[in-house]
Amino acid sequence: MSHTHEEPETFNDRASLTRFAWLSIAAAVITIILKATAYLLTDSVGFLSDAIESGVNLVAAVMALGMLIIAAWPPDESHAYGHSKAEYFASFAEGILILLAAGGIIYSAAGRLLHPHLPEQLGVGLIVSLSATVINLVVAQILLQTGRKRNSITLEADAQHLMADVWTSVGIVAGMAIVAVTHWSVLDPVIAILVGLNITWTGFHLMRRSVSGLMDASLPENEQQLIEDVIAKYRARGVDFHALRTRQSAARRFVSVHVLVPGAWTVHDAHHIAEDFEGDIRKVLPDTIIHTHLEPTDDILSMRDVHDK
């Protein structure tokens, strides 16, 4: 006997996440203007690399907005489990954009490395760039906290991208300050190349996580342990389990397991055990869709798994 339970889908709650994408778009537009101004004032390839990364931020934020809107659509006949996996496409595409930006930064810096010259008006450029960095830092923290709280990989990816931008901006500002003091013009393209290599790692990390979600990877080990802890409580009551499987689709978790109860139990008693078990799982892992299959412990067929050969 199979049993499935899920909490009512709160699509309005998911749709509300789009306002954070709009916040990211606004921040990207402002920081592009500020960083482009810093580059035009100084002719520094380091500041140019920072402006390019903010341009990628804007494209990624627009894409995140679109994917969050799609992910909030309710299930339909063609998508019975909803559209939440759309978020993985946004984070994967953002990873690709980061890699493209890194390539552009390194290419620009390599040319300046061969023909270095001292940037101009570094003092003003540093102030303008720092202002953009502060904006990115505030927005990144808002997105990161919301993404983790609401289990949105899109917002987390956007936040991580912004934080990468923050750290690279800090490095650029520090490097430009050294250039201003020492007049080591070669330091400008070297800093830009380091920025490109740093954000390359961020891009690969986002792409790897997105592919993992699209391939229906199991829940993280810490979340699987929470499930095992709940299972242990029920095993102490004479209930057994097997064929546990888990996966995650953006904000939604999926758990399926066979629940083995004594054959003498009534359907009523077994059903209530399944309900209690599912409720305990949702207490430790909210937004989880749980599939349970009730079987008698004294039947040898109960230990067969549909995936067994």
Contact yes or no for 158/141 (Cβ under 8 A): no
In which region does residue 156 sit, left (phi positive, over 0), alpha (psi from -120 to 50) or beta (all else)?
Answer: alpha
DSSP 50-116: HHHHHHHHHHHHHHHHHHHHHHTSPP-SS-TT-STTHHHHHHHHHHHHHHHHHHHHHHHHHHHHHS-
Task: Kindly state whether residue 121 falls inside one of the protein's structural domains.
Answer: yes
Q: Is residue 131 part of a domain?
A: yes
9-13, 57-61, 63-67, 261-265: which has the highest mean pLDDT? 261-265
Q: Which domain holds residue 25?
A: 7-214
* DSSP H helices in 183-240: 187-214, 221-235
Beta bridge partners, 11, equal: none
Q: How many CB atoms lie within 10 A of CB 102?
A: 25
Residue with tokens 């994967």: 92
Top-confidence residue, 193 or 1: 193
Please indicate, yes or no, whether residues 154 and 35 belong to a single structural domain of this protein: yes
Of 31, 75, 17, 5, the closest CA to residue 254 belongs to: 5
Tell me the range of 33-42, 225-234, 238-247 where mean pLDDT is highest: 225-234
Total count of domains within the chain: 2
Classify residue 118 by its DSSP letter. Answer: -
Which whole number is the average pLDDT over 145-155? Answer: 79
Let me know whether 143 and 245 are in one domain: no
Residues 209 and 226 in one domain: no
Domain boundary among 172, 189, 214: 214
- 57 and 188 share one domain: yes
Looking at residues 213-225, what average pLDDT do you find? 82
Domain boundary among 175, 191, 214: 214
Instruction: Please identify, among 152, 182, 214, the residue that sits at the C-terminal boundary of a domain.
Output: 214
Residue 72 · residue 15 · CB < 8 Å: yes
Sheet arrangement for strand 2-5: 2-5, 288-296, 252-261, 240-249
46: nearest Cα among 130, 114, 112 = 112
40 with 114, same domain?
yes
Domain assignment present for residue 73? The answer is yes
Quick one: tokens of 141?
């923290």
| Tens-digit pLDDT profile for residues 83-134 | 777 777 777 877 887 788 788 778 877 877 777 777 777 788 888 888 998 9
Please indicate, yes or no, whether residues 86 and 184 belong to a single structural domain of this protein.
yes
- Count CB-CB contacts under 10 A for residue 90: 30
The pLDDT of residue 170 is 81
| pLDDT at residue 7, rounded to an integer | 47
Under 8 Å between Cβ of 152 and 144: no
Residue 237 Ramachandran class (φ > 0 left, ψ -120 to 50 alpha, else beta): alpha
Same domain, 225 and 97: no
**Top-confidence residue, 134 or 213:** 134
Compute CA distances 79 → 17, 82, 84, 101, 131, whole Å. Answer: 21, 5, 10, 34, 44
Q: What is the 8-class DSSP label of residue 303?
A: G
Return phi, psi of residue 216, to 5°.
60, 45
